[in-house]
Amino acid sequence: MTDVAAVRHPVPTLIRRLDVAAKILLVLMLASALAFPEFGNLDDKGAVARAVSYPMLAFTVPVVWHLWWRERASFPWLADLLITITCFTDILGNRMDLYDQIVWFDDWMHFMNTGLLAAAAILLTLPRSATLGATIERALAFGATAAIVWELAEYFAFISKSSERHSAYTDTLGDLALGTTGCLVAAVLIHLAWRRGKLQTTAPQLESSVVTPA
């Protein structure tokens, strides 16, 4: 009898390329923003905090996978891309000065990025057989916590020293509401995709052994 490892499901090349490209561009933009905060429109907006925390977040999944999952699961490319996008789009939005030029851009980012993080958490931690209730519960547990952590980090990084601190409470409540809504939307969309047979190759695929006659 011979044990043969199960074949890993292929991941679309586009997802892998986008993930790698987003990470490279993120590091380059962070380096330039750290050297020239005014060029990246990050002056007095926590450039150092972003330069430290964003690479840590963007490379968490690769490090965890390499240390603990590599021998038993395929790399979760889509989940990793979703996490990287949240960091990349924030830096890109600041670089293009979209936060100041477009009134609703900050609201959109809170809605979208919290939803993307929740989606990544779902893909990484839940089986495709999970119920809608369990999927929503996981999205809210992770996403709402992430939204609160972000608001705290944002406050201590630069809002506490800004003239906007007196009106920050109202903005924070709105951001938390938008982030929570993004989590709910992400949970429903992923659950619908699973029910329709989609996203079958985007989460970690556990290795199994197939026994064949000798």
Nearest to 55 by CA among 32, 24, 76: 24
**3-class state of residue 211 by DSSP:** strand
What contacts 24+ positions apart, CB below 8 Å, involve 35-40?
A: 40/91, 40/94, 40/95
pLDDT at res. 163: 56
pLDDT at res. 36: 79
pLDDT at res. 202: 60
pLDDT at res. 166: 53
Residue ranges covered by each domain of the chain:
2-212
Signed CA dihedral, 178, 118, 22, 9: sign only? negative
And the tokens for 142?
A: 């992770």
Please work out, in degrees rounded to the nearest 5, the angle formed at the alpha carbon of residue 148 by the alpha carbons of 87 and 141: 95
pLDDT at res. 48: 79
pLDDT less than 50: residues of the chain: 1-8, 208-214
CA distance 90 to 88: 6
Residue pair 119/102 in contact (Cβ under 8 Å)? The answer is: no
**3-class state of residue 4 by DSSP:** strand
And the tokens for 136?
A: 């929503």
Nearest to 44 by CA among 148, 136, 162, 126: 162
* Digit-coded pLDDT (tens) for 99-122: 889 999 989 999 999 999 999 999
pLDDT at res. 6: 37
pLDDT at res. 159: 54
DSSP state of 164: G
CA distance 110 to 104: 10
Whole-number CA gyration radius for the chain? 19
CA distance 126 to 186: 14
